[in-house]
Structure 1
Amino acid sequence: MPKIADIEDTPNPNAKKFVLREPLTWGIAHSYESAEQAQGDSLASALFAIAHVTNVFYVDRWLTVTQDGQADWEPLLREIAPPLRATPAASDQSAAAVFAARATVADLSPEDRQRLDDIELVLDQEIRPYLQSDGGDLHVLSLAGNQLVVHYQGACGTCPSAISGTLQGIESRLRTLEPDIEVIAA
């Protein structure tokens, strides 16, 4: 059962990040924007059963919960803690299982696959650590021509700065690799 090490504010005032002592997963992100999406995930379903919860995102040793902005955080945190503590910690998973579960962008030419690998390397090394430290992340949905479509997860999903400033910063950094790239949030 994961023990909560800390609860952190995020740049999104409607999201809190729970830092855990034990992992919930080993590298596999779980992101849900509704109770319907969370069906089959007992932790996320239990969290969506709490009034005002609008988004659940977790990976490894942290979980981010976003609310609709209508609830006071103190009582909401007290409701979130029991289902989180009741969830079993991640069991040992093989590297092959984790690798197989990661989503990849399909149907790319070898040249576009190399472009995407280069982009993902920059995202992994320079962008995702900052997003994750704030309780969020991003997932690449597609690369078509000069358009890279990303989807924000966790606290970043509804954060005003993610849609404007952060997206522009990501695009600016990626333009050092590809001057004509356009980054779009979906």
Structure 2
Amino acid sequence: MPKIAEIEGTPNRNALKFILKEPLTWGVTRSYDNAEQAQGDALAEALFDIDHVTNVFYVDRWITITQDGEADWQDLARAVADPIRAAPAADAHSAATVAAAGTAIAGLSPEDQKRLDAINEMLDDEIRPYLQNDGGDLHVLGLAGNKLSVHYQGACGTCPSSISGTLRGIQNMLRSIEPEIEVEAM
């Protein structure tokens, strides 16, 4: 049962990041935009049962909860703390799942997979740490020709700066290794 070590605000005023003393997962990202997507995930289901929760995103030792902007954060933080504390901590099985999972996207040629690996390496080194610090992340959905499709997760999913400025910054940075790349958020 993870204990909450800290609660941090994020650049998205509708999202709070809860830092935990124990991990919920070992590198396995869970991201849900609604209760239907959360089916089968007991923690996310419990959080979506709370009024005003619109997004649940968690990985390792932190979870970001996004609300609709209608709730008082002090009250909502107390309400979401109970299911977070009741959730089981990650076990060795989830660590094995991470080790077995790759960054491959089905249908990519070996050359495109190599390109994607280089892109993910740059994202891991230069972009994701900053997004994660703010309670979000970025998931690569696909690579087709020179078009990279990404999905913002957690606090970044509804943050106006992610949709515009951050996306342009990511594209400009990736152009140092892929000069023709176009990045689109889905």
Q: TM-score, normalised by structure 2?
A: 0.97
Cα gap change, 1:103 to 1:55, in 2 (>3 Å): farther
Deviation at 1:101, TM superposition (A): 4.2
Alignment of 1:107-126 (within 5 A): 107-126=107-126
- 1:75 equivalent to 2:75? Answer yes
Runs of 4+ in 1 over 6 A off after TM superposition: none
Alignment of 1:138-153 (within 5 A): 138-153=138-153
Per-residue CA shift, 1:159-185, capped at 9, x if unaligned? Answer: 000000110110010000011100000
Per-residue CA shift, 1:77-97, capped at 9, x if unaligned? Answer: 010111110111111236542
Between the two proteins, the alignment pairs up a number of residues equal to 186
- Tell me how far apart the structure 1 counterparts of residues 29 and 102 of structure 2 sit (CA, whole Å): 8
- Tell me how far apart the structure 2 counterparts of residues 103 and 118 of structure 1 sit (CA, whole Å): 11
Equivalence for 1:35: 35
Cα gap change, 1:25 to 1:102, in 2 (>3 Å): farther
Cα gap change, 1:95 to 1:86, in 2 (>3 Å): closer
Equivalence for 2:181: 181
- Tell me how far apart the structure 2 counterparts of residues 174 and 41 of structure 1 sit (CA, whole Å): 34
Alignment of 1:1-186 (within 5 A): 1-93=1-93, 95-101=95-101, 104-186=104-186
Provide structure 1 residue ranges, at least 5 long, that are not aligned to the other structure: none
- Mapped contact 1:26–1:93 kept (Cα < 8 A): no
- Mapped contact 1:28–1:101 kept (Cα < 8 A): no
- Mapped contact 2:104–2:113 kept (Cα < 8 A): no
AA aligned to 2:127 is I
Cα gap change, 1:185 to 1:120, in 2 (>3 Å): same
Q: TM-score, normalised by structure 1?
A: 0.97
Deviation at 1:106, TM superposition (A): 1.2
- Mapped contact 2:103–2:117 kept (Cα < 8 A): no
Cα gap change, 1:135 to 1:35, in 2 (>3 Å): same
Provide structure 2 residue ranges, at least 5 long, that are not aligned to the other structure: none
Identity level (%): 69
- Mapped contact 1:29–1:59 kept (Cα < 8 A): yes
Per-residue CA shift, 1:52-75, capped at 9, x if unaligned? Answer: 000000000000000001111000
- Tell me how far apart the structure 2 counterparts of residues 116 and 103 of structure 1 sit (CA, whole Å): 8
SS at structure 2 position matched to 1:139: strand
